[in-house]
């Protein structure tokens, strides 16, 4: 009995030898969708929306006295702000204007994290409010980034 190699085997051999590059997309193989291939505007919009949602929920929970939720949502605010910082176009003037506000939001959320969830909600609410103020200003500038086509 003679074994005949399939096309997949030949494709692998060709790739190893360097003659052929794979034609299937990487996300299909790994089961993940690459966000790097997304256009920047929808991703910026998505991150800005998530940023605003988390900052508003953070303060809503603060008003109810839920310190654990304040710390959680502030952590999410920091994550979204960091993603936005990495994705800002370096030459866009509106992006440069949003930068200090995003950094301020991250700084204030770090203060909330340092206080932890065992303190009085009023103690973590002050930096949370400062983070919200910074996020609101940043989102205004991010809207200008989106409108400018960056």
If you average pLDDT over residues 144-150, what whole number do you get? 73
**Residue 41: pLDDT over 80:** no
The per-residue DSSP string of 97-130 comes to HHHHHHHHHHHHHHHHHHH-SSS-HHHHHHHHHH
pLDDT at 85: 92
- Find the Cα–Cα–Cα–Cα dihedral 29, 30, 32, 35, rounded to 10°: -80
Average pLDDT of every residue of the chain: 78
Structurally, the chain folds into a number of domains equal to 1
Whether 47 is in a domain gets the answer: yes
Percent of the chain with pLDDT over 70: 71
98-122, pLDDT tens digit by residue? 999 999 999 999 999 999 988 888 8
Any domain includes 109: yes
In a domain, 134, yes or no: yes
Is residue 52 situated within a structural domain?
A: yes
Examine residue 121 and state whether it is found in any structural domain, yes or no.
yes
Residue 56 in any domain: the answer is yes
Closest to 135 in 3D by CA, of 50, 53, 52, 79:
52
Q: Give the pLDDT band of residue 8 (cuts 50, 70, 90).
A: low
pLDDT in tens, 82-98: 999 998 888 888 889 99
Q: Is residue 61 part of a domain?
A: yes
Mean pLDDT for the stretch of residues 29-38: 40
> 19 in a domain, yes or no?
no
Query: What pLDDT, on a 0 to 100 scale, did the predictor assign at position 120?
Result: 85
CATH number at residue 110: 1.20.120.660
Query: Given a cut of 60, is residue 150 above it in pLDDT?
Result: no
Domain housing 143: 38-147
Q: pLDDT at position 2, please? A: 53
């Amino acid at each position: 009995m003679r074994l005949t190699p399939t096309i997949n085997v030949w494709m692998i051999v060709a790739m190893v030898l360097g003659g052929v590059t794979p034609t299937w997309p990487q996300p299909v193989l790994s089961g993940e969708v690459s966000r790097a291939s997304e256009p920047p505007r929808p991703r910026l919009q998505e991150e800005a929306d998530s940023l605003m949602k988390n900052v508003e929920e953070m303060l809503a929970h603060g008003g109810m006295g839920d310190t654990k939720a304040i710390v959680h949502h502030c952590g999410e605010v920091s994550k979204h702000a960091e993603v936005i910082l990495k994705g800002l176009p370096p030459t866009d003037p509106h992006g440069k204007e949003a930068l200090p506000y995003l950094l301020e939001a991250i700084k204030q959320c770090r203060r909330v994290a340092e206080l932890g969830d065992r303190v009085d909600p009023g103690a973590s609410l002050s930096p949370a409010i400062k983070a919200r103020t910074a996020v609101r200003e940043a989102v205004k500038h991010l809207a200008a980034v989106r409108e400018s086509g960056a």
